[in-house]
Amino acid sequence: MADLTTADFDYDLPPDYIAYHPTGKRDESRLLVLERASGAIEHRVFRDLTRYLGAGDLLVVNDTRVIKARLAARKRGTGGRVELLLLREAEGGLWQALVSPSRRVHEGTELVLESGEGVTVEKRLSGSMRLVRLDVPDVRAFLREKGAVPLPPYIRREPVAEDEERYQTVYAEREGSVAAPTAGLHFTAETLAALRAAGVSIARVTLHVGMGTFIPVKAERPEEHTLEPEYFEVGPEAARALGAARREGRRILPVGTTSVRVLETLADRFGADAPLGAASGWTSKFIYPPYEFRLVDALITNFHLPRSTLLMLVCAFAGRRFVLNAYEEAIREKYRFYSYGDAMLII
């Protein structure tokens, strides 16, 4: 295991298998069920979750909310087109932003948004990253009104009205992400109600997803890669629920790799056997094989890009060969991949 390279997490996906639009209804997505103990694979639909989850299980969801962070602009004077993706607020009212194309966007460059407001590039950071200042009194309120949904780059189309609802989970509450925690996109209010009726408890944590989560690993070996920090929070209620589940030997099932990273960051903070408490801060937790999970007994996840940190995390949980074999099975069975694609339950 220790000799794995980044290339060991590669696979070939025909472009037609990428989901460019969501399913008709969230819980109509397909569900590939992997049983680690037996190696069995089953084909279900997402609303069949109640076949596998029941009394005593603790489902952990990430309640972050995606901000409409994409803005179209032109350079003042030349009229050259520029797109901004606002990632997070920095000190002094500045925002960290990805700029495309960025080659001639230097410090002092002035931009004009499509809606007429001005933007000044205050500082050039690494690569395509810039610190920018928007000439608006409340940037978050402005984005809610004028911004566009930041769909992943592999969804090669412009956002439409449907995306404003479907690229959010039904339990999204806390603004701060520039990408959705996509495993949660399959849940409906009805699915959650059915799980509660079956005796499943639900805990909320928060991790504001940044672009670093989705950047392919370019280093030759996973351990040479560093994740950009992302902000997380675990409140007292969630910490109590997690602590009780762990003490009582009940299953903890995070929804998505973001929730996994929050839980394992929490385990780092408090140790393997100590009582869990509320926590918040920044995490760069990067999980790849081999890894011993402390607060994860099963996992709901989507199908992830080759060589991505997300795929590596799933392989760490279920075994690289088992997961990649399951991906091959999903391709044979014509599952839909990536953010708007189908789901996987690993038990």
Residue 116: how many other CB atoms lie within 10 Å: 8
Cβ atoms of 227 and 286 within 8 Å: the answer is yes
pLDDT digits (tens, 9 = 90+) for 284-333: 999 999 999 999 999 999 999 999 999 999 999 999 999 999 999 999 99
- The full set of domains in the chain, from first to last, is 6-66+164-346 (3.40.1780.10), 70-146 (2.40.10.240)
CA distance 341 to 312: 18
The Cα 147–Cα 138 span in angstroms is 13
Whether the pLDDT of residue 193 is over 90: the answer is: yes
44: burial class by Cβ within 10 Å (0-12, 13-18, 19+)? middle
Three-state secondary-structure class, residue 139: helix
What is the structure's pLDDT at 1? 47
pLDDT digits (tens, 9 = 90+) for 28-48: 999 999 999 999 999 999 999
Count of CB atoms situated within 10 Å of the CB of 83: 15
Q: What is the mean pLDDT of the chain?
A: 95
Whether cis (ω within 30° of 0) applies to the bond prior to 290 is: yes
Give exposure, 211-220, as e/b (b: 16+ Cβ within 10 Å). bbbbeebeee
Q: Residue type at 245?
A: A
Range 53-66 average pLDDT: 98
Model-level pTM? 0.94
> pLDDT over 90 for what percent of the chain?
91
Name the packing angle between helices 256-270 and 309-318 (round to 10°).
70
Residue that has been written with the tokens 């940037």 in this structure: 139
Angle at 253 between CA 65 and CA 224, to 5 degrees: 75
Among 146, 128, 139, which residue's Cα sits nearest to residue 88? Answer: 139
According to the model, what pLDDT value does residue 213 have?
72
Q: What pLDDT score was predicted for residue 2?
A: 55
Q: How far apart are CA 109 and CA 120, in angstroms?
A: 6
Mean pLDDT of 98-114: 92
Residue 70 pairs in a beta bridge with: 85, 148
Task: List, in sequence order, every residue forming a beta bridge with 65; answer none if it has no partner.
Answer: 175
Q: Is the per-residue pLDDT at 13 higher than 70?
A: yes
- Percent of the chain past pLDDT 70, that is, above it, reads 99
